[in-house]
Amino acid sequence: MSGAATFVPTPLLLSDSAKARLQALIEEEGKPELKLRVYVTGGGCSGFQYGFDFAEAAAEDDTLVEFGEVALVVDPLSYQYLVGSTVDYEEGLAGARFLIQNPNATTTCGCGASFMV
């Protein structure tokens, strides 16, 4: 049997498509300090819903997760619901959007915008 393995939990992951889209949006705005804020609010058909916004700076109690030239910002309340999730970006017939793949969600709505833990 080998020794104990080291595990460093990742608070959030960012897919390659989300990283590319975020980088493109930052370049369009001409503001390299922009970060994608990911948050959770009450509501939606399953109890909680995901939200996305841009932030130029992180608050003192935010978690900043950097991925090279792009970064995600998460407030402390939302963080507990998003640990281990992947932020993705998809384009399809229904439009283009960022979305969350959340392993903590026990139920999600059909469009994936809301969830229950």
Which residues are documented as binding site? 45, 109, 111
Specify the CATH number for the domain of residue 34.
Answer: 2.60.300.12
Q: What are phi and psi of 80, to 5 degrees?
A: -60, -30
Number of folded domains that form the chain:
1
d(CA 26, CA 70): 8
Residue 3 lies inside a defined structural domain of this protein: no
Residue 116 lies inside a defined structural domain of this protein: no
Residue 20 lies inside a defined structural domain of this protein: yes
Reply yes or no on whether the pLDDT at 45 is more than 70: no
Residue 112 lies inside a defined structural domain of this protein: no
What is the per-residue pLDDT for 72?
94
Q: Residues 115, 71, 23, CA angle at the centre, nearest 5°?
A: 100
Domain region containing 40 = 13-101
Residue 73 lies inside a defined structural domain of this protein: yes
Reply yes or no on whether the pLDDT at 17 is more than 70: yes
What is the per-residue pLDDT for 87?
95
Which residues are documented as binding site for iron-sulfur cluster? 45, 109, 111
Residue 83 lies inside a defined structural domain of this protein: yes
Tell me the per-residue pLDDT of 56-114, one tens digit each, with 9 for 90 and over: 988 999 999 999 999 999 999 999 889 999 999 999 887 889 999 988 776 665 555 55
Residue 72 lies inside a defined structural domain of this protein: yes
pLDDT band at 44 (very low <50, low <70, confident <90, very high): low
Residue 37 lies inside a defined structural domain of this protein: yes
Tokens of 82: 């998003």
